[in-house]
Structure 1
Amino acid sequence: MSTSTTKSLPPSQRVPGVSANQYPPDAMPKIGRLVFHAAAAAVMIQGWASLQNMAMKQFMESQYGGSFQYLTILGLFGSIAAMLLSGLCDYFPGINVFKSIKRIFLLVSLPVELVISSIYWSIILLAPELMLPPAPDMASSPEPSSSGFEDGLFRIPLWMDMSMHLAPAVALIIDFFFLEKKFRPPASTIGAFLLAATFGTTYGLWVEHCASINGSFPYPFLTIMELPGRVATYAGSTVGAYLVFRGLNAIHK
């Protein structure tokens, strides 16, 4: 549409603030949001990348299922995907398919990461031997760690620990409350429950399968439990994730 044509339109048919050589405001890249999402993804990716050269990574890869036995790693990849999809939404805000896919990842990753962070840091602070497996001397790190220095456990530097066990939850909370709309039914009710139940059940079956081959679970607190206790843990975590999401969504304006 030419400028002359635009000017010839009656006022009721004109789009305020949009001329013939401008994109609609909603289609313009949102640079501030893009920087936030890119930085959040970079922090998480850096934590994962730094893990590759540590003894903990060698230990993980020596087992069946490798890194993907760990709920932390699965949650981390989901959070990275959510941040990268958010970045695409920021740069191409007019492409709605990116927004729809990002919302699905957010619906899963947000409650999962909050459950991961709450369980992980509670156990790390109170009884790290229930979260971290025993390690040989080569696993020691001269950098500050979240699990102490002389406990004989596999441990990683504190900054790396926070990039994988804290940054995802913080980034997703900020994204949800400040940059996203709240979820509406049926996504916030049936959708959230089905996704939580599917994820929780799938992870429970997967980690049980891995343990049947490895002879132990990726997390020591699961190894010392009998099957009924583990089933209760999977179910409780799933319900907890769903309730956490419902609570956060309820207070979202």
Structure 2
Amino acid sequence: MARHQLQRLEAPSRQFSLFLHAAGIASFTASFRFLNSWETPMSSAYGGHYQFLTIIGLALAQITFVVGLLADITLSPSLFTVKNALSVFSAPLEILITVLYWGLCAIDKSLVFPPDFQLDFLPDFGFHAAPGLMLALDLLLLSPPWTVNAYSAVTLGVTLGFAYWVWVEYCFTQNGWYPYPIFDILSTWQRGLLFTFSSLLMSGSTMTLKWLYGKLNGVERFQKEAVKNPAGVRPKGE
């Protein structure tokens, strides 16, 4: 399969691409193994650990990298295309999780974790930093450019953000408490503002990743597409 002219490294391939995807899968699997051995009230609650946006993002990252690894092993263009489509969802979501988590921790870590369930650095990094870093590397080095415009990014961010809000509120009706302490502090309209802000932040992360792709690969006009470009339209010369 011919590599896209804006794609920095060969992918799918049995070299660096395979190594990155295998390393990512190992990291994500270690996080899930830790989660399965970590006894908390959340373990037996309705929705389990999947009430956390962090775990939903981790699962999407795992699926994306498994498909990417299979593409590397088989050198399948079809699987490579599926991996790239999945990364449109998983990469911005993981960047959002990383920014929100560490931002809130800088203010007060008890907003995201009760004091009795604080994580040590390695599992904390594995849940809240490694997936975003791995997916960003996959996008910037091993993927063709996204053909996603600003409108599509906002639509995607708002859809995922409010879908998660509905899921969290439904779990609350079953359990009587929220997965993140900050949700208990905020009123309903304040939670709505938080989810709206998070949705727009995810949209911004999509456009930022697209801009960084153009910056890293030295394509000035591709950077401009991060602000305005019809989906599917490529710069001249491609």
Matched, 1:224 2:205: no
Alpha-carbon shift at residue 86 of structure 1 (Å) = 1.2
Report the TM-score when normalising by structure 1.
0.75
Partner of 1:84: 66
Aligned to 2:230: none
Distance 2:22 2:11 in 1: 19
Gaps of 5+ in 2: 1-9, 215-238
Q: Counterparts of 1:114-153 in structure 2 under 5 Å?
A: 114-133=95-114, 152-153=115-116
Sequence identity percentage: 27
SS of 1:153's partner is: helix
Asked if the contact 1:60/1:67 (under 8 Å) is kept, the reply is yes
Q: In the alignment, which residue of structure 2 is the partner of 1:136?
A: none
Cα drift, residue 121 of structure 1: 1.3
Higher RCO, 1 or 2 (CA under 8 Å, sep at least 6)?
A: 2
Backbone CA RMSD of aligned residues:
1.9
Counterpart position of 1:75 = 57
Tell me, yes or no, if structure 1 residue 207 matches structure 2 residue 168: yes
Task: Work out whether residues 27 and 92 of structure 1, in 8 Å CA contact, stay in contact via their aligned partners in 2.
Answer: no
Q: Which has the larger radius of gyration?
A: 1
Match for residue 63 of structure 1? 45
**2:118 aligned residue:** 155
* Map of 1:171 onto structure 2: 134
> Does structure 1 conserve the Cα–Cα contact (< 8 Å) formed by 2:11 and 2:143?
no
**8 Å contact from structure 1 (residues 85, 102) kept in 2:** yes
Query: What is the Cα deviation at residue 55 of structure 1?
Result: 2.4
Name the counterpart of 2:195.
234
Q: How far apart are residue 32 of structure 1 and its match?
A: 2.3
Runs of 4+ in 1 over 6 A off after TM superposition: none
After superposition, what is the alpha-carbon deviation per residue over 1:150-190, rounded to whole angstroms, capped at 9, x for unaligned? xx421222211111111000001111111112212xx3445
Separation (CA, whole Å) in 1 of partners of 2:101 and 2:63 = 21
Shift of 1:28: 8.2
CA shift in 2, pair 1:166/1:28, >3 Å? closer
Q: Which residue of 1 aligns with 2:209?
A: 248
- Please tell me whether residue 37 in structure 1 is matched to residue 18 in structure 2: no
Note the residue ranges of structure 1 that are not aligned, 5 or more in a row.
1-25, 134-151
Q: Distance in 2 between matches of 1:219 and 1:37?
A: 30
How far residue 83 of structure 1 moved from its aligned partner, in angstroms, is: 1.2
- 8 Å CA contact retained: 1:31, 1:91: no
Partner residue of 1:181 out of 141, 144, 152: 144
Match for residue 86 of structure 2 among 102, 105, 113: 105
Which residue is equivalent to 1:21? none
Equivalent pairs counted in the alignment come to 205
Q: Does the aligned pair in 1 maintain the 2:14–2:72 contact within 8 Å?
A: yes
